[in-house]
Amino acid sequence: MFRPAPAPLARHRARLMLLGAFALSGLISFSWLARIPGVRDDLHLGAAELGVVLLVGSTGALVTVFSAPLILGRIGSARMFGAGSVVMTGGFTLMGVGPALGSLEAFGLGIVLNGIGGALLNVPMNVESARIEQAYGRAVIPHFHAAFSLGAVGGSVLGALSAALGVSVVAQFAVVGVLVGALRLVALAGGLVMPGAPRPTADTAARGAAPARGRSVWTEPRTLLVGVVAFAAAISEGAANNWLSLAFVDGFGATEAFGGLVLGVFIGSMAVVRAFGTRAIDRLGRVATLQLSGLFGVAGLALFALTSRPQVALVGVALWGMGAALCFPLAVAAVSDDPWKAPARVSVMASLGSVAAMTASPMIGLAADALGGTRHALLVVLVALLASLAVSRFVGPSLSRVADPRDALDAEPVAVA
């Protein structure tokens, strides 16, 4: 297993600092996602054009996420997290400067730097969440994602209030970017990375197995199938994060501020389920929990996209958020059963999640032009959700190793000679 922290205090400190880091990521991300309608108007872009800009601006992040396992192996979680904090602060500030100057080039460069910084942060944060769960010996990964969701609610409210009060995008982004960057470095100095390093389990040591690293994990069938779940979860979240407020504004004639609050409903639903969803995982097991989540997500998304009544659409938003809440945390937990190989496998989940989040924006933007509206374009996410349901059984623990008693709920019976 992962070697636990030298003292319970260090383990507890690492958990608190990482919870704060996840919350800050949600805050900074959603404080600008709630301002997308205003950014679009300032840059005079259509839905498809905005999607293309987001895609082109994400090229740096795309390269970074696939390099992340190698970077993590060479410099470690602490240095990678610190570098990501600095890069993302600069990129986020530049994203506000672009619309203020009417400069698409400055905005695009800001997205590139913001994406690179986010990728550098995403991998070590997820790897450390898996290490902490192993150290505690119980399900805690959803709590980190709940912190992200709570931060996202705060960011959505911040963006909505800034829009309602007429605060410029550049002022909001500069203040939030610098403040969040500073707090991230404080969390890192406060013990965010738990002491100790992975070491082989008894069975891997007996086989002389080396830690999984680099490209080798990309050839493991189960890891890739669990990756489908992570990819679908990130597609679902990314589509909602980038387009939900805009879809509600355009589809129902709501104000930009109210569109930001609708995004807050989605994130708030996710936060509640992530905070209390570990009980469902304990009682039902990973597979049943993932299948139930998928059904909620499909029903909520369909309800939002197809109804003509805004009140019903809000119910669909809440159901969609509830369904999306546990999918990515379950994928991370599923590839962490073998702690010796967990860092590389979690890096794959984080990489696929980042790629999916970047893919969602241009995909929905192009579909919006083809289908005549952003709200109906979100229905393409159903394909990813159904794919996740199809491979849901692979998030259960491997038959050769049931690390936690609750995982036995997912294990298949094995014939005894």
Start-to-end CA distance of the chain, whole Å, equals 29
Burial call 11-49: b when 16+ CB within 10 Å, e when fewer = bebbbebbbbbbbbbbbbbbbbbbbbbbbbebbebebbe
How far, CA to CA in Å, does 48 sit from each of 3, 33, 113, 248, 397?
Answer: 48, 17, 22, 17, 41
Average the pLDDT over 242-257 and give the result. Answer: 82
Average pLDDT score, the chain: 82
Type of residue found at 262: V
Most confident of 337-346, 356-365, 390-399, 401-410: 390-399
Non-local CB neighbours of 137 within 8 Å, separated by 6+ positions: 404
Give the pLDDT band of residue 57 (cuts 50, 70, 90).
low
- pLDDT score of 412 more than 70: no
pLDDT computed for residue 1 by the predictor: 40
CA dist 57 and 358 (Å) reads: 9
SS3 content of the chain, % helix, strand, coil (to 5): 80, 0, 20
- Other CB atoms within 10 Å distance of the CB of residue 322: 22
pLDDT computed for residue 215 by the predictor: 59
Most confident of 3-7, 160-164, 341-345: 160-164
| CA-based nearest residue to 144, from 270, 319, 294 | 270
% of the chain at pLDDT higher than 90: 32
Q: What is the 3-state secondary structure (H, E, C) of 306-332?
A: HCCCHHHHHHHHHHHHHHHCCHHHHHH
Type of residue found at 136: Y
Q: Is 197 exposed, middle or buried (0-12, 13-18, 19+ CB in 10 A)?
A: exposed
CA dist 67 and 38 (Å) reads: 33
Whether 39 and 57 have beta carbons less than 8 Å apart is answered as: no
Please give the residue that has the higher pLDDT: either 1 or 173: 173
Token look-up 């199938």 returns 225
Q: List pLDDT tens digits, range 77-122.
A: 899 999 999 999 999 999 989 888 888 889 988 988 998 998 899 8
pLDDT computed for residue 207 by the predictor: 43
Domain ranges, ordered by start, for the chain: 8-193+217-403
How far, CA to CA in Å, does 46 sit from each of 54, 80, 99, 365, 394?
Answer: 12, 36, 15, 9, 40
DSSP 331-373: HHHHTTSSTTTHHHHHHHHHHHHHHHHHHHHHHHHHHHHHHTS
Whether 330 and 284 have beta carbons less than 8 Å apart is answered as: no
Average the pLDDT over 244-270 and give the result. Answer: 82
CA dist 201 and 191 (Å) reads: 26
Please give the residue that has the higher pLDDT: either 62 or 323: 323
How far, CA to CA in Å, does 156 sit from each of 23, 34, 241?
Answer: 13, 6, 10
Please give the residue that has the higher pLDDT: either 180 or 201: 180
Average the pLDDT over 40-56 and give the result. Answer: 77
- pLDDT score of 389 more than 50: yes
CATH homologous superfamily for the domain 8-193+217-403: MFS general substrate transporter like domains (1.20.1250.20)
Please give the residue that has the higher pLDDT: either 278 or 320: 320
- pLDDT score of 414 more than 70: no
Please give the residue that has the higher pLDDT: either 178 or 197: 178
CA dist 155 and 152 (Å) reads: 5
Please list the residues that pair with 198 across neighbouring strands: 2
The length of the chain is: 417
**Alpha-carbon dihedral 376, 377, 382, 387, rounded to 10 degrees:** 160
Residue 338, helix vs strand vs coil: coil
Average the pLDDT over 369-380 and give the result. Answer: 81
Give the pLDDT band of residue 304 (cuts 50, 70, 90).
very high
Give the pLDDT band of residue 393 (cuts 50, 70, 90).
very high
Whether 273 and 326 have beta carbons less than 8 Å apart is answered as: yes
Whether 15 and 4 have beta carbons less than 8 Å apart is answered as: no
| CA-based nearest residue to 264, from 30, 80, 23 | 30
| pTM (predicted TM-score) | 0.75
CA dist 63 and 61 (Å) reads: 5
